[in-house]
Chains A and B, each alone.
Chain A
């Protein structure tokens, strides 16, 4: 697995932690130094900014004669100062850029490996997890929660540092000008921070309410648009308009509320910050008049104090947003902490393919949550190359039974042997490579038909081989009628495949995979007669020389099987060949009789006319 070894992959199970901030810190593994560097470069940049104002001070004092020109003549000094401004701007800008670049480089890298990890982790989680987790929920987590973690690393992880650095450096600079001035300049700062945190907390609640209403409005809209026939059929246009109007108005109302909060906070904090600055100005002015500071110090102070006070207003936002990032961390870790299904663990590692002898010994299975067995005490033996038909009604356990073969679920009682070795001793990856599954309506990926046929074959397949498989699966002709033949993307430009066509693509795929064991879901009753014959022929080609399990409902499709297993309520009720089972008084004969009776009934029905 090449990817696991490179920098785009990181095992986020290492980032599991009860302390969320500690967890976040572990997620940064490998990039922590980059963050330190980002903060250091930021410090350099801030220092340059501060130095700019100090240079301005020296400049003002020089021209007003408070200080001697440091380069001898005033003209020469002025040139040096002018160049100094440009140089400081280069340092400030250059390092600020470097800092942002480091931070986003780290954040984007962490996000990339987080996405890669989650993708991989999810596909390796066991079925039991997938069957109980709705797809929408998982998608929500891997998209928006990943995004808010990314925002955390991009903005908050560096943002707090930025504000603190600006504060410390500028405070120190002002202190060096006059300690009294420095203290007077930060009197209101704690109040600003407190108000800002309080406000952003409030606003995030109001914003949530606003978003909730937006979501409600779009639901109303979507239901209206998708149900347009119902709306028109009942002539309910006016009713719908009123309903939408209510939701729309409510959204307007909540938006108004949110804006009222903003329209109060910003001017109020303006006043707080503004008067804090004004106080500083007056104080600095008086100090200057008294000669405690130079006249040049005043404009420098005015420049510095801006960077001391205004960023504080945003501290609240950063703190509140951090909690969003932490909530997302929790939601992601719920996925990360799930136990994976090991693919390569196993005591026995055969060199070649399996022969295909399968023995069920007293096999039972129950789901984690359920108490009663879904499959109970199933025993039978299949020789290599034999075909076994599993019959029974819905819920009889036949699908569950075949799910045990590729170890989608592990049997909870008894044992299943393949070529004399218990399934649990084989690595799952090897085992699954031996088994081909053709479902009644298989899932196709939205990629080209060719890629769907070669999906999972695990080697480069030449076009001739793909076509040969498609021909054997009786799907070649149909593919040629698609706009771009084998390169047609499934699901695009209105290319939708019928159930039968999908099944034949899966047959072609399985032919290429060439497994020793085959699982067929053979419920062809919904397909019209013409394609049924084609599919049957394709299936027969596929079954040659493979141990085959057929899930079937009709006598017709099981008659020729070497072994028929009739199941009911999780148990095997009958086993034998068609002839043997017909001779017995049991479920199989009952089904047979029913199907014959149906034919007879139909005859009668029609004869009446």
Chain B
């Protein structure tokens, strides 16, 4: 399922507001309560003033025009004008306060989420798609913050408008007011029902839309197959079915929305009719003036708008509560790997590293590593080889303490590494990943990621050592060349060289290299090899190795299959054994030679993965 669909489903999820969630939502507002009080006051006053304007107009009609007094007209106009100015000030106030508060709350939520995400363990990331996490931070935060500001504002406005209209109507003529109020429940019923129906169609159209996008995407990416198989007409027929679905849903949603307002208006026309008839009859007894009629007609509209708006706000509130719950769930997730109480900073990692009967399972009952034993002397280079899925990467993840063993102990300097702080371990381990990950920004910024206080000279020295300097200076801006989003302006080989240089700069005590399988041109390949050699010199290193040169250079080769060590020894020892390693080696040998002679498939990946 695509990220877009995941997001869609989450968006459709609604929750009733529970006490606990409500308390926590209020907790988010707590630091800014002054702002909230401010906008609630200003919106309440704004709505109240709206009702007052009508009252003023009534006075103007009855006392001014009715009695033919121009000074009275001017007096009321002066009231009106000054209140207009006051109201403008209030409008400024609530837009400013609610709007900025909304931005601020979103800022707060995003910050809390991001900071918490940094502390979560890798296991959390392997269980949660990036798209989902992105949605937490981007859209869920927006939904919650707008509920707490604009949503709350709409509710306050609606409630105050209705109450003040009701109050003024009661004050003018309570009997007529009661007749008019009888339409309120009808309006609410209509509003809620319409909202539901429209929402259903709206969701359908969102769903159809994301299918349409998916279909565009596939057809463009697979255009070669489409052309080769001459499937254009059938594709169009299939696609037209999707756009038909889209048409039906969005047209229905559109006309339902268009029907809503007229329905409300017609219902309220009955109230208007009642006002006219009753008011007209009353005027015979002179207890009901033209100003009163005018006022009633206006108050009627003040009542209708909020009522229909409340239905919308209520629907949005349910979604926002669901968003808030997802946010709180994420914030409540504890990191699986964290410092034990009383953990000490490791003085150094330059010591014996020992895997002692280590087992590990991502899921219960499905061990990836079983009873793994390995002792590595300081400065030793160990090559881990074996088929994909054998457990090599897991071993490296355990060593980095991205995960901790489910059984057994990993010791550094003879001490269980869980007795050390995470920071002191991870800051001393250098990792070069198989698919290098760069961040948007310049090459220099990416290199400096290895050591934040490195000088430009040190950065350049590291780049030289890693063999990256030469290609960097060919760029127009040299070290200040932007690498693009995720480094996509650079070639794979260049990204690898930069990630090596980054590790060089970090000057780690333990080195972990996951050799890339994707092929790069021979020159870059040689550079990468040399860079890796430079990096490994004098350090304890673990290499998930694919290439023979790397494997042969290791002090020890460990062949891993099914989460266990099946063979271990030097290159010569293992070849003599004619076992697993021997088979891997002969295949890889042919492959590499064919590549070297330029007779192999150019894009093929190495045999040993």
Contacts and interface: CB of A to CB of B under 8 A. Distances in A.
A536 interface: no
Interface centre among A123, A138, A302 (most CB of B within 10 A): A123
A267 B85 CA distance: 9
A64 B485 contact: no
A175 interface: no
B328 interface: no
B88 A271 contact: yes
A526 B604 contact: yes
A207 interface: no
A171 B274 CA distance: 29
Interface in B264-307: 265-266, 268-270, 272-274, 276-277, 279-281, 283-284, 290, 293-294, 297
B243 interface: yes
Contact of B240 (A63, A116, A230): A116
Interface in B358-415: 400, 402
Given A94-B262, A101-B258, A82 B591 contact: no
B280 A89 contact: no
B269 A85 contact: yes
Given A104-B254, A122-B219, A262 B227 contact: no
Nearest to A551: B601
Contacts of B122: 228-229, 232
B218 A281 contact: no
B77 interface: yes
B599 A594 contact: yes
A11 B115 CA distance: 52
Interface in B560-590: 572, 575-576, 582, 586, 589-590
Interface stretch (A162-170, A242-250, A382-390, A477-485): A242-250
A129 to B, nearest CB: 10
Interface in A496-518: 509, 513
Nearest to B92: A267
Contact of B228 (A228, A230, A252, A406): A406
Given A455-B231, A526-B607, A394 B602 contact: yes
A475 interface: no
A226 B130 contact: yes
Interface string A230-271: 111111110111001100110110011001101110111011
Contacts of B235: 119-120, 123
Given A237-B119, A435-B228, A609-B575, A229 B431 contact: yes
B598 interface: yes
Contacts of A248: 107, 110-111, 114
B26 interface: no
Nearest to A104: B254
A86 B236 CA distance: 49
A119 B215 contact: yes
B225 interface: yes
A429 B125 CA distance: 48
B255 A256 contact: no
Contacts, number: 427
A526 B85 CA distance: 78
Nearest to B250: A108
A75 interface: yes
A433 B74 CA distance: 87
B600 interface: yes
B118 interface: yes
B91 A270 contact: yes
Interface string A216-227: 011111111111
A296 interface: yes
B57 interface: yes
A433 B232 CA distance: 12
A299 B276 contact: no
Contacts of A433: 230
Nearest to A259: B99
Interface size class of A (residues with CB under 8 A): 35 or more
Interface in A384-433: 393-394, 406, 408, 429, 432-433
B263 to A, nearest CB: 7
A223 B440 contact: yes
A223 B220 contact: no
Interface in A192-233: 214, 217-233
B293 A219 contact: no
B84 interface: yes
B68 interface: yes
Closest 7 CB pairs of A and B: A456-B229, A93-B262, A89-B269, A100-B258, A259-B99, A104-B254, A523-B601
Interface of B: 1, 57, 60-61, 64-66, 68-70, 73-74, 77, 80-81, 84-85, 87-93, 95-96, 99-100, 103-104, 106-107, 110-111, 114-115, 117-119, 122, 125, 130, 133-134, 137-138, 212-237, 239-240, 243-244, 246-247, 250-251, 254-255, 257-259, 261-263, 265-266, 268-270, 272-274, 276-277, 279-281, 283-284, 290, 293-294, 297, 400, 402, 422-423, 426-427, 429-431, 433, 437, 439-440, 449-450, 452, 485-486, 502, 506, 512, 572, 575-576, 582, 586, 589-591, 593-594, 597-605, 607
23 contacts: A1-B233, A3-B240, A8-B240, A78-B281, A82-B276, A105-B251, A112-B247, A116-B240, A123-B219, A143-B212, A218-B138, A222-B130, A226-B437, A260-B96, A262-B99, A266-B95, A267-B90, A281-B80, A295-B61, A299-B61, A433-B230, A526-B601, A553-B600
Interface of A: 1-3, 8-9, 56, 59-60, 62-64, 74-75, 78-79, 81-83, 85-86, 88-90, 92-94, 96-97, 100-101, 104-105, 107-109, 111-112, 115-116, 119-120, 122-124, 127, 130, 135, 138-139, 142-143, 154, 214, 217-237, 239-241, 244-245, 248-249, 251-252, 255-256, 259-260, 262-264, 266-268, 270-271, 274-275, 278, 281-282, 285-286, 288-289, 295-296, 298-299, 302-303, 343, 393-394, 406, 408, 429, 432-433, 435-437, 440, 442-443, 445-446, 455-458, 492, 509, 513, 523, 525-526, 528, 553-554, 591, 594-595, 598-599, 601-602, 605-606, 609
